[in-house]
Structures are given as C-alpha cells and as structure tokens.
Structure 1
Amino acid sequence: MKSLLKVVKGNDRLKKIVHWMLIPTGEARPRTWVSVFINPFFHKKGKNSRIRTRTRMDVLPFNSFEIGEDSIIEDFSTVNNGVGGVFIGNRTLVGMSNVIIGPVNIGDDVIIAQNVVISGLNHSYTDVSLPISKQEVVTSPVNIGEGSWIAANAVITAGVTIGNNVVIAAGAVVTKDVPGFCVAAGNPAKVIKRYNPTTKLWSKVN
C-alpha cells in the first residue's frame, strides 16, 4: 500500500485521476463509495463513539481521522481532513454545528459547544495577481489539551495550541497559544483568569 501511494504521489497526472475518483471536481465531500467502502479500513472509531447521522464527514483515506472511546460528534457538524488529519480523544463532545478542518488534535474529556470553528487551514494571499481561491493553501496544526471547554461561537485559528483545562469564552477568536489552566476571552482572545495552585482559586489577570 505504501509503495502504491508513493507511485501516485510521484505522478501528477495519476494523482489528478485518483483525486477525481475520490472527490468530485471543486468539492470537498468524498464520493459515496469512498465513505462506505474505503474510509472504514483507514479511519479509527473508538468503542461507543458516535457520529450523528446529520454530521457531514468530509474525510478521505489519505489523511487520518480518529475518534476515541465514548466521544460524540453531534448533528450538523462538519469534519474535514482533506489537508490534514483530525484526531478526537476519548470522552470528548463535539457539539452541534461545529466545523473542524484538519490538521487538528483534540484531547480527552474536551467539551466543544455549538457553532465553534476550529481550523488548521489558511489561505495564502501573497500574490495579488491571483484571487485568493487560486493561491496556495497553508496548514498549521491546532492542538486542544485535555479537559478544556470551548464555548459557543468561538473560533480557533491555525497554529494555535490550547493547554489542558482551559476555558475559551463564548465568541472568542483565538489567534495565539493559551497556556493550561487559564480562561481566555475576547477578539483577539486574551487570558483573563488563571488558576492558582497555591490558593486553589481562579484569579483575574490584570
């Protein structure tokens, strides 16, 4: 299988043909036969994990997709691994109407509320002679630590790492890393509270 993939990747014409067979031109959703007959052999679903029937799974076999034990992806969400793998840990909830575009790694025991966008993808805009849609796609992984809570309508941008036990407030736009045991809010998001292990209290940050 690895040798076959190497041959395909090394031949631009063959790569285009295979890509067309997997995905209709200009679309992100894989063909039905890929979802039904191919993806189950490449992707991992943990015990008791659930992906609701109204979830749009734009996942392809050439990048990883994994969901851990007892995790749920709720209805009306979209998961896309076209430009990078998506890993969802154990006992993690992906709420309704979320968009997750790889490369994204989400830890165990994470809660992601409604209408959250998490994207490891960005579009280059360096060449002003071309429309942005024709320019290079760039990626940088998003990492979300275990035990964190991403509240409704938050946006997590490419390249961001969120530590363990972090709260991202509703509507926050996270463009920079957030260390563990913090609360971040605003646009762009800033740390507003931090857990003090000595006092065992959450303290405001000036």
Structure 2
Amino acid sequence: MIHFRIRDLISVLFYRLLAPFFGTFGRRVRIVFPLRIWGARHFHLGDDVTLQYGAYIAVLRDHERNPRLEIGQGTMVGNHAHIVCTQHVAIGTRVLIADRVFISDNGHEYRDPSRAILDQGQYRMGLVAIGDGSWIGENAVILGCRIGRNCVIGANSVVTRDIPDFCVAIGSPARIVRRYHPATDSWRPTDRSGQFADE
C-alpha cells in the first residue's frame, strides 16, 4: 500500500539524517518530535527503540571521562521523560519507561550556602542500570542506583538504592513490597527488609 511505502521511505531518510550524529543508532529507531538531545555522540540506541514526544535526554561530558548512555533493543521511553547522564546510564532491552520519568547519575551541588545552587555545579552519584524487561511507572525518579531484571517500579516512586531482580518497589524512598518466588512460581509480599513476609 502507498501508506506503508511512504512510511518506509521516511524511516530510511530519518535514519540517514540522524544516525551519523549518534554513537550507535539501531534499525527502526522511532523518535517522536519535539525532542531534545544533548551529546548524541555518547548516546547508543539499539534496534526498535522508541523515544516519545517531549523527551529530554542529556549526555554531558566533562574533561575527566567520556560518558555513555545506552538504551537497549525494543525499549520504550515515555512522553516528557528526562534522562541525564554524566558517567554511565545503561537501560536494558525491552524496558518500558512511562511518562515523566526522571533518571540521573548526578545531582546539583548545594553545600555552599553563600552561593546559589545553580552556580555550584554537579556532583556524581552512582552509575545507573535498569535491567531487561523492567517497567518504570509514571513520574518515578531513579537516582544513582541499579534496578534488576523484570522489576516494577511504582508510579511516583523515588529510587535511590539498588533493587534486585524480580521485585516490585514503591514509595519515596522506594522499598520492595513484592518479589518473585521461584519455588512457588508466584509473586509474594515482602516485609520491610525485602524478605518474604511469610517465611
């Protein structure tokens, strides 16, 4: 059909125009404009990645190291998501990132009360990694930590500590409330320490 031929042509032109500006630009990448990207040459996109409307992604280089932002195959980044990388942010394959999620491996310095925070620069947090197959809920914040495979991070959660594989975490600060139990092939509640509540 004519519609599909036009869409395929636009996809090919889009790839040829944008790919040279990125570190890696996979096949069938879908970017919905408007979108803001800083430091595209440090940005590595796998095949079938989708960046939705209004996303803002910044990879900021300093003189000490080259940062690297990776988004794996089939991952979807929601509308108005905000990702800032100064060291290393690695988002796995087939990750679902909802609208207005904020992900960062750095924060704003604030320790000098005589100066505006705007003028104090940034400080580094831990590296960020989000495991394959995870789902990050709407308005969640992920700061300098690692999230395992097939995790669910609830809407409006603030994650500042590592979350292991196969967990559900909610709240601010986020805590684990449910984990996958392989012996029973079920998702079971946890206590405040993240251990199974009924063991």
Shared fold (TM-score, shorter chain, > 0.5): yes
Q: Find the aligned partners of 1:125 and 1:91 in 2 and give their Cα distance.
A: 38
What is the number of equivalent residue pairs in this alignment?
168
Aligned counterpart for 1:72 among listed residues 43, 46, 50: 50
- Confirm or deny: 8 A CA contact 2:21 2:40 kept in the other structure: no
Query: Given the alignment of the two structures, is residue 188 of structure 1 paired with residue 188 of structure 2, yes or no?
Result: no
Q: Find the aligned partners of 1:163 and 1:48 in 2 and give their Cα distance.
A: 26
Aligned counterpart for 1:101 among listed residues 84, 99, 115: 84
**Which residue of the partner structure matches residue 144 of structure 1?**
130
Give the gaps of 5 or more residues in structure 2: 1-15, 62-66, 192-199
Matches within 5 A, 1:1-206: 40-61=20-41, 64-83=42-61, 84-102=67-85, 103-140=88-125, 141-157=127-143, 159-206=144-191
Identity fraction in percent: 39
TM-score (norm 2): 0.78
Which string of whole-angstrom CA distances, capped at 9 and with x for unpartnered residues, describes residues 21-66 of structure 1? Answer: xxxxxxxxxxxxxxx99982552111111111212112354xx101
Please tell me the root mean square deviation across aligned C-alpha atoms, in Å. 1.9
**Which residue of the partner structure matches residue 26 of structure 1?**
none
Cα 1:93–1:37 change in 2 (3 A) is closer
- Confirm or deny: 8 A CA contact 1:39 1:60 kept in the other structure: no
- Confirm or deny: 8 A CA contact 2:69 2:89 kept in the other structure: yes
Give the gaps of 5 or more residues in structure 1: 1-35
- Confirm or deny: 8 A CA contact 1:60 1:82 kept in the other structure: no
TM-score (norm 1): 0.76
